[in-house]
Amino acid sequence: MMMDKGNDGESNSESVTRFLSELASEKPQPYSYVQLKDFTKDFSNILGSGGFGDVYKGQFPDGVPIAVKVLKNSRADIMEMQFKAEVGTMGRTYHRNLIKLYGYCYETNTKALIYDYMENGSLTTILFERKFDIPWLRLYTIAIEIAQGISYLHESCHPQIIHHDIKPGNVLLDSKHSPKVIDFGLARLNMEKSQFVQSRIRGSQGYVAPEMCLPTVAISCKCDVYSFGMMLFDILGSKRNCVGQRWFPGQVWQKVQDNQLDSFIINCGIEEENKVNTKTLSIVALMCAQHIPRDRPSMSTVVKILQLEIKPRTPVINPFPYYDVSSENSMYEEN
């Protein structure tokens, strides 16, 4: 069987092997398939499955819980590329609000990644399924911590990492409900500039920045800022009682325009003592979700505003120019 060759004549397998040897001084450690079977009790407890592969719950010999993602793809070259991207990115990225890569398995028939195990699942379970009754102040702290993780990707990583798919499902929570952003390992790394042109839309419905819906457009980290803003609306909306059925971000903007944000916050089920940080979160959400990318703040500025170090500035122009306040839907939900 002939092996695929790269542009330099090196096979995919040889390329990854060389890559791993160069990574040897980094923290992710190599493990064998036999060790993975032992860690996961023969892959007996599956946590999830998708096009990328299957994720199993496991445990290191010292008792540390782990999640093992076994990659799968019908094309070996794509699987090799995914493996190299995730190990190469996550293996050199360390922040308390980013998922940690403990190690990997790279064998002929098995390509796997070993991560933190997050006991409380994704932020989705809190915001939409309401499996946990999280106090507002803790939700607000979670928002700050997520912002800190994204800020690290944007401003402390070289080359810069643009996530492309910020949403509640890509935030996991540990036993203390501290958040960690996941799935940044496959994010497009910007090697030279702060933006690049893409040919297809990446991201999830409801969180994709407007500029990403154009055929060819310069994509920057401000796309992540937009997605984070939409997630802030999810956090605020998770506490709402009866505030109508129209598109929630549009309602928030309308209440700000009508000078009714205070009463709106109370109707969302948030206590009076939390009004200041709730108003701050609401304005930050609007700032992040502005239609024009350059009008959105950087994530480091977002962190400072949420920490009440900088006063937020309410957008002057409607952040949602294609939103109809009389409608239940918005163009943003349809993308």
What's CA 173's distance to the chain center, in Å?
Answer: 12
- The first and second tokens of residue 320, run together, are 């949602």
Residues marked active site are found at: 165
Q: Which residues contact 335 (CB under 8 A, 6 or more apart)?
A: 201, 205, 208, 210, 213
Between CA 157 and CA 268 the distance in angstroms is 37
Answer whether 232's CB lies under 8 Å from 279's CB: no
Strands 179-181, 195-198: parallel, antiparallel or unpaired by DSSP? unpaired
| Helix/strand/coil for 29 | strand
- 159 upstream amide cis, omega within 30 of 0: yes
Which residues lie across from 70 on neighbouring strands? Answer: 54, 112
Q: Is 69 annotated as belonging to a binding site? A: yes
Answer whether 170's CB lies under 8 Å from 181's CB: yes
For residue 100, the 8-state DSSP code is -
Instruction: Please enumerate, by residue number, every residue annotated as part of a binding site.
Output: 69
Instruction: Please enumerate, by residue number, every residue annotated as part of a binding site for ATP.
Output: 69
